[in-house]
Structure 1
C-alpha cells in the first residue's frame, strides 16, 4: 500500500513540477513579449500598439502602432520583416534609410520603407513628434530587428 502511495505522490510531484516549470517559462515569455512593444528603445521614445490582424495572404499580418518621440530623440538603427509605411502625425522627422539620402517629413507626410531595409528615425522638431507606423510583415517573427 505505501508503495502505491509513493508512486502516486511521485507522479503528482512530477506533474506539479512540469506544470510549474512550464508556467514559469510561459510567464517569462509572455512578460518579454508584452514588454517588447511597450519597451522604450531609449529614453524618450514609446510605442502604442493599435491594430494587429492576420491578412488574407498566408503567413502575413498587418500591425499598426503609434510611435512617440521626445524632441531630439533618435531610434536605433533597425529593420522589419516586411514593409513599413510611416505617416507623420505631429512634428518633423528625419528618416535615414540605408543607401539613400536623408528625408525630412512633417505632419501629413508619409514614407514607404521596403522590407529588410535598415533605417533610423529622428525627431528634429522642437517638441514631441508622433508617427503612425503600419507594417505588413511575416507572422511569428520579431517586428523590430536591431542593426549594428
Structure 2
C-alpha cells in the first residue's frame, strides 16, 4: 500500500510539472495548438508541429528551442526578430528558418489576427520553448 502511495505521488508531481511547463509557454493573446508529435529515425530527435495564433498587436517574448524551427505564416502579418539579424515581416505563404538555440521573438504587426504553422525538429525530452531570454538586439 505504501509503495502505491509513493507511485501515485510521483505521477502527480510529474504531471503538475508538465502542466506548469505548458502554462508557462502560453502567453496572453497567443494560443498554441499541438498538431503533431512524431519520433524521427535519427536517435533522440522528434518533429513537432504547432499552430500558433496571435491576437492583434500581441508578441511572443524572446525564446529559443532545442532544435530547428520552420515558421510558416498562415494568416496576417508577423514580424520576427532573430538575434544578430534585422527584423523581417512575413505574410501568408512565407516561411522563416530558425537555427537551433536562436533567440527570437514574433509579433503580430497586422490589423487583425495572425497565425503560423511552426515545425520543430528538436531533441526529445527537452522543453520545447525556453522563455526568459534577453531580447534580440535589433
Residue in structure 2 matching 1:118, options 103, 112, 118? 103
Residue in structure 2 matching 1:89, options 50, 68, 74? 74
Residue in structure 1 matching 2:92, options 85, 107, 119? 107
With the length of structure 1 as denominator, give the TM-score of the two structures. 0.83
Query: How has the CA–CA distance of structure 1 residues 38 and 51 changed in structure 2, closer, same or farther, with 3 Å as cutoff?
Result: farther
Matched, 1:66 2:46: no
- 1:76-128 deviation line (CA, Å, top 9, x unaligned): 11000100000000110000000100000011110000000000000111111
Q: Larger % of strand: which?
A: 2
Report the alpha carbon displacement of residue 129 of structure 1 after superposing the two structures with TM.
0.7
Which ranges in structure 2 are unaligned for 5 or more consecutive residues?
Answer: none
- 1:33-85 deviation line (CA, Å, top 9, x unaligned): 25644666321111010010000111110000000110111111100010000
2:34 aligned partner: 49
Which ranges in structure 1 are unaligned for 5 or more consecutive residues?
Answer: 1-15
* 8 Å contact kept, 1:90–1:131: yes
RMSD: 1.6
Q: Rg: which structure is higher?
A: 1
- Give distance in 2, aligned partners of 1:24 and 1:70: 38
* 8 Å contact kept, 2:31–2:52: yes
Corresponding pairs, count? 133
Q: Larger % of helix: which?
A: 1
Which structure has the higher relative contact order (CA within 8 Å, separation 6+)?
A: 2
